[in-house]
Amino acid sequence: MGLRSIVVMILAIITLLLEIQTCLSAEISRANFPHGFIFGTASSAFQYEGAVKEDGRGPSVWDTFSHTFGKVTDFSNADVAVDQYHRYEEDIQLMKDLGMDAYRFSISWSRIYPNGSGAINQAGIDHYNKFINALLAKGIEPYVTLYHWDLPQALDDKYKGWLSTDIIKDFATYAETCFQKFGDRVKHWITFNEPHTFTTQGYDVGLQAPGRCSILLHLFCRAGNSATEPYIVAHNVLLTHAAVADIYRKKYKNTQGGSLGIAFDVIWYEPATNTKEDIAAAQRAQDFQLGWFLDPLMFGDYPSSMRSRVGNRLPKFSSSEAALVKGSLDFVGINHYTTFYARNNSTNLIGILLHDSIADSGAITLPFNGTKAIAERANSIWLYIVPQSMRTLMNYIKQKYGNPPVFITENGMDDPNNIFISKKDALKDEKRIRYFSGYLSYLQASIKDGCNVKGYFAWSLLDNWEWAAGYSSRFGLYFVDYRDNLKRYPKQSVQWFKNFLKPAK
């Protein structure tokens, strides 16, 4: 390479670095994003609604799990949660005050079908009609998730839920009911929230409902098979999504004009070292996370690394199933919070101990490289703040999957719910402001790279019940006072978002 070429290359690198620095140092705002870009907050029915025994709602597996001793760290349950079932008009006004364009929420399957199938519960239909109408009346667009982990308990009892292909028909009936009742106003549907999470946490390690695993010879879970059940569940989820997408496209899309996607959980994985082994391990970790679900939807089959490492425990798609699954997404939802290191598992110790999907990946993923943390931590033990990975991840999706339309369906961080922290101090959430500013800056940079990102949803509007963490974790822009009638108070991040979302003059 000649001297001139070297100088040109150095100047190009300097220019790029200056552009990035300018982007990140400037106060980012809505004006930095494309016209029509959607901003909203996200939630789920079980974490927000409460009212678990009202108006005909049937129990879900999470009702059962959260009432089982030792499954939730603070021994709480979501019977009341943050009571959005009754307070939705107040909460919609908070969204309006923030300047948000949209609200992502989920419908409780067992409010529509208390037994998972059979007779429709009209009170459930009426509630969500009122809820959707109240959003639209305030100019807030509904983005509706059909399944955010709350499987009707009756279906788990009847045929073990997602372990049976029987669920495909029952879920499709539920989904079609929602299209019929709400599709004239709902234009963005998300069939599943984080299928990888409820597959592995519910059927591999047993830390979430329905709590199935075979780790330590069933000392931890009463039933399950960690070597096979996660793969069966994931396969049935993909077939179910494809069946629902087929129904929507054939019967509703032309008249209703909506679109349909899935929200995937994605930790970004950085190789722990620059060795070939760790670089390959980082890719395998991603294959066994995002690729497990997105590869079949884009390419018609599971990643080759899964096929070779899981063998005959990994189900196969028939040619007709593969054709139905492939291309069944209109958009890709991404729930991205954090980044881990990935290291090649050079021993088989994890495989011997676990014999599950985690061991099958052959990758050890941790937020530490030796004793050094990857970045500053939020409250959750898994959530480290690495904003630049948002840009890296968006470019990865663009390059690997052909630049599909993407919505960031969740992004956020938590503070502890500490009784020794005064409410006044709890409202000072400078770390959350830094988090959002950083991740949104790198998201905007990825759009400048050409990534096809259409919207962003912050997790979450309110502090809420955080699954197995209970009320110990506060993700909200608004502080919820659990000791004083669940009153909502704006944290400093609310004012930051109000400024961020102000329309350009």
Judge whether 377 and 384 are in contact, CB under 8 Å. Answer: yes
- Total domains, the chain: 1
* CATH code of 432's domain: 3.20.20.80
How far, in whole angstroms, is CA 130 from its chain's centroid?
A: 25
Degrees to nearest 5, angle at CA 484 with 481 and 489: 40
Judge whether 407 and 452 are in contact, CB under 8 Å. Answer: no
Tokens (6 digits) for 99: 């300047």
Question: How does pLDDT run across 60-117, given as a tens digit for each residue?
Answer: 999 999 999 999 999 999 999 999 999 999 999 999 999 999 999 999 999 999 999 9
What is the C-alpha separation between 249 and 258, in angstroms, rounded? Answer: 9
DSSP 8-state assignment for residue 359: H
Which one, of 473, 459, 476, 486, lies nearest residue 73 by Cα? Answer: 473
Tokens 């991040």: give the residue: 493
From the number of C-beta atoms within 10 Å of its C-beta (0-12, 13-18, 19+), residue 410 rates as buried
CB neighbours of 246 closer than 8 A, spacing ≥ 6?
324, 328
E strand intervals along 135-258: 141-147, 188-193
Tokens 């470019």: give the residue: 395
Asked whether residue 459 is domain-assigned, the answer is: yes
Question: How does pLDDT run across 350-374, given as a tens digit for each residue?
Answer: 665 667 999 999 999 999 999 999 9
CB neighbours of 415 closer than 8 A, spacing ≥ 6?
378, 379, 426, 429, 431, 432, 473, 474
Q: Is 466 a catalytic residue?
A: no
Which one, of 372, 337, 340, 368, lies nearest residue 263 by Cα? Answer: 337
The model's confidence at residue 196, banded by pLDDT at 50, 70 and 90, is very high
The phi and psi torsions of 142 (rounded to 5 degrees) equal -80, 130
In this prediction, residue 26 carries a pLDDT of: 55
CB neighbours of 19 closer than 8 A, spacing ≥ 6?
none
Q: Is the dihedral of CA 81, 84, 85, 86 positive or negative?
A: positive
Asked whether residue 110 is domain-assigned, the answer is: yes
Q: What is the mean pLDDT of residues 241-261?
A: 98
End-to-end CA distance of the chain: 49
The phi and psi torsions of 161 (rounded to 5 degrees) equal 55, -125
In this prediction, residue 503 carries a pLDDT of: 82
Q: Which of 141, 194, 229, 321 is catalytic?
A: 194
In this prediction, residue 3 carries a pLDDT of: 52
In this prediction, residue 16 carries a pLDDT of: 45
Q: Which of 229, 270, 321, 410 is catalytic?
A: 410
The model's confidence at residue 15, banded by pLDDT at 50, 70 and 90, is very low
In this prediction, residue 24 carries a pLDDT of: 42
What is the C-alpha separation between 420 and 187, in angstroms, rounded? Answer: 44
Between 4 and 246, the more confident residue is 246
Asked whether residue 424 is domain-assigned, the answer is: yes
HSE of 196, CA atoms in CB hemisphere, 13 A: 23
Judge whether 162 and 229 are in contact, CB under 8 Å. Answer: no
Beta strand pairing call for 339-344 and 259-265: unpaired
Tokens 């990865």: give the residue: 396
Question: How does pLDDT run across 389-439, given as a tens digit for each residue?
Answer: 999 999 999 999 999 999 999 999 999 999 999 999 999 999 999 999 999
What is the C-alpha separation between 378 and 364, in angstroms, rounded? Answer: 22
E strand intervals along 296-420: 331-335, 339-344, 363-366, 368-369, 372-373, 406-410, 415-416
Amino acid found at 137 = A
Q: What is the mean pLDDT of residues 142-162?
A: 98
Which one, of 374, 316, 311, lies nearest residue 342 by Cα? Answer: 374
Tokens (6 digits) for 49: 């609604």
Q: What is the mean pLDDT of residues 261-266?
A: 98
Amino acid found at 187 = K
The model's confidence at residue 486, banded by pLDDT at 50, 70 and 90, is very high
Asked whether residue 54 is domain-assigned, the answer is: yes
HSE of 218, CA atoms in CB hemisphere, 13 A: 4
**Average pLDDT across the chain, whole number:** 94
- 41's enclosing H/E stretch is strand 38-42
Q: Is 321 a catalytic residue?
A: no
What is the C-alpha separation between 432 and 413, in angstroms, rounded? Answer: 6
Asked whether residue 17 is domain-assigned, the answer is: no
Asked whether residue 201 is domain-assigned, the answer is: yes
What is the C-alpha separation between 502 and 162, in angstroms, rounded? Answer: 44
CA distances from 20 to 26, 370, 432, 456 (A): 10, 30, 21, 20
In this prediction, residue 220 carries a pLDDT of: 84
Question: How does pLDDT run across 111-146, given as a tens digit for each residue?
Answer: 999 999 999 999 999 999 999 999 999 999 999 999
pTM of the model: 0.94
Tokens (6 digits) for 125: 């239909």
Asked whether residue 15 is domain-assigned, the answer is: no
Beta bridge partners of 263: 193, 333
Length of the chain: 505
The range of the structural domain enclosing residue 406 comes to 27-501
From the number of C-beta atoms within 10 Å of its C-beta (0-12, 13-18, 19+), residue 314 rates as buried
Asked whether residue 488 is domain-assigned, the answer is: yes
